[in-house]
């Protein structure tokens, strides 16, 4: 039997999550069975633990959109028992059982070898959020971002993606301006390397101005909505925004064409779910090289399976700071 966080739906359509034992035979088909050591909590996990947000179609369900652990059995020659592996994306934890269990079975194509220099715990301190942050930074670099060009803006900076983005950009030598709606997080963000704390309220109003003062050499944006509309108008000539989320709404309110055609601003979409293997591998290797482990450790809130119903609700309310690392065996 396998311990797991199991989400059930009752006859009235309400969902209930609790730790329970499931048979290993209930695990989905796949080439590789992994003894899961650590997982984490992302916004999507909160949706899947709760009502589902339209992501979960069949119950009972085991959430957990990422995990790290040790290969137990494999029918694929790329992996053998004892190999350390990481999984993010591919809708695992949404449309198939995920990482909130002592074992997971997945297609080999979904896995990435654990990069040298990372433990499975550190990999889940990074998790999907950290991978997304690194993909965003790589995209900005591919479009010309270099240290010394001026401050890089990170919105939603106290969240999972934002925390990793702040720490990594600072380590790479960038000035980092961190946007947060939680003033009590200023010391935390400064400890990660932010040189400037910007109040979320500074971006709260829609403006009809075609452009604003050129302030930012790059941006990792997790918010969208009104904030992104304002940020685009404040980008320096030729600068890029890497958009990774929509916590502030899917519409880019107040956005105009002017930043794109008068300043050559680029808006880059970042998807971490279906990224090709080569990009995932490159990003994980960069994480092992460029994310300072002491700053990563400062982001971590430890948890076990029984904590997940509470944490799932908290992350949907914006009440989780940094990265939650779930010891699935605890």
In a domain, 286, yes or no: no
pLDDT in tens, 2-47: 999 999 999 888 999 999 999 999 999 999 999 999 999 999 999 9
User: pLDDT digit string (tens) for 68-99?
Assistant: 999 999 999 999 999 999 999 999 999 999 99
Indicate whether 205 and 244 sit together in one domain: yes
> How far is the C-alpha of 50 from the C-alpha of 60, rounded, in Å?
13
pTM of the entire structure? Answer: 0.93
Written as six digits, the tokens of 1 are 């039997």
Residues 235 and 146 in one domain: yes
Report in angstroms the alpha-carbon separations of 197 from 11, 172, 178, 288.
Answer: 48, 19, 5, 27
Residues 44 and 172 both lie in one domain: no
Do 221 and 311 lie in one domain? The reply is no
C-beta of residue 151 within 8 angstroms of C-beta of residue 177: yes
Burial of 143 (0-12, 13-18, 19+ CB in 10 A): middle
How far the first Cα of the chain sits from its last, in Å, is 16
Say yes or no: 98 and 193 in one domain.
no
Domain encompassing residue 91: 2-114+296-327
- How many domains is the chain partitioned into structurally? 2
Indicate if 220 and 309 belong to the same structural domain: no
Residue predicted with more confidence, 330 or 257: 257
Q: Helices 277-290 and 160-171: crossing angle, nearest 10°? A: 60
Read off the pLDDT of residues 125-153 as tens digits, 9 standing for 90 and up.
Answer: 999 999 999 999 999 999 999 999 999 99
In a domain, 92, yes or no: yes
- Over residues 264-320, the pLDDT tens digits come to 999 999 999 999 999 999 999 999 999 999 999 989 999 999 999 999 999 999 899
| CATH, residue 15 | 3.90.180.10
């Amino acid at each position: 039997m396998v311990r797991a966080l199991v989400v059930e739906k009752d006859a009235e359509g309400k969902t209930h999550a609790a730790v329970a034992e499931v048979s290993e035979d209930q695990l989905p088909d796949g080439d590789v069975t992994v003894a899961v050591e650590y997982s984490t909590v992302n916004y999507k996990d909160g949706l899947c633990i709760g009502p589902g947000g339209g992501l979960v179609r069949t119950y009972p369900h085991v959430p957990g959109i990422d995990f790290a652990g040790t290969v137990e059995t494999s029918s694929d020659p790329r992996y053998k028992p004892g190999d350390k592996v990481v999984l993010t994306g591919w809708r695992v934890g949404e449309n198939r059982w995920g990482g909130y269990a002592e074992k997971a079975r997945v297609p080999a194509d979904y896995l990435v070898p654990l990069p040298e220099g990372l433990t499975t715990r550190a990999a889940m301190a990074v998790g999907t959020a950290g991978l997304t942050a690194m993909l965003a930074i790589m995209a900005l670099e591919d479009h010309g971002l270099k240290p010394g060009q001026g401050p890089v803006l990170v919105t939603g900076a106290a969240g999972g993606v934002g925390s990793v983005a702040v720490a990594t950009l600072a380590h790479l030598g960038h000035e980092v301006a961190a946007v947060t709606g939680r003033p009590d997080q200023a010391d935390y963000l400064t400890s990660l390397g932010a040189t400037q704390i910007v109040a979320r309220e500074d971006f709260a109003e829609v403006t009809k101005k075609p452009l604003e003062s050129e302030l930012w050499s790059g941006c990792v944006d997790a918010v969208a909505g009104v904030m992104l509309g304002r940020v685009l108008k404040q980008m320096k000539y030729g600068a890029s925004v890497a958009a990774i989320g929509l916590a502030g709404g899917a519409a880019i309110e107040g956005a105009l064409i002017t930043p794109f055609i008068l300043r050559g601003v680029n808006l880059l979409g970042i998807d971490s779910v279906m990224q090709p293997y080569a990009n995932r591998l490159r990003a994980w290797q960069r994480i092992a090289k460029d994310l300072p482990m002491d700053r990563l450790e400062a982001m971590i809130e430890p948890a076990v399976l029984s904590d997940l119903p509470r944490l799932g609700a908290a992350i949907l309310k914006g009440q989780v700071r940094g990265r939650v690392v779930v010891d699935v065996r605890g």
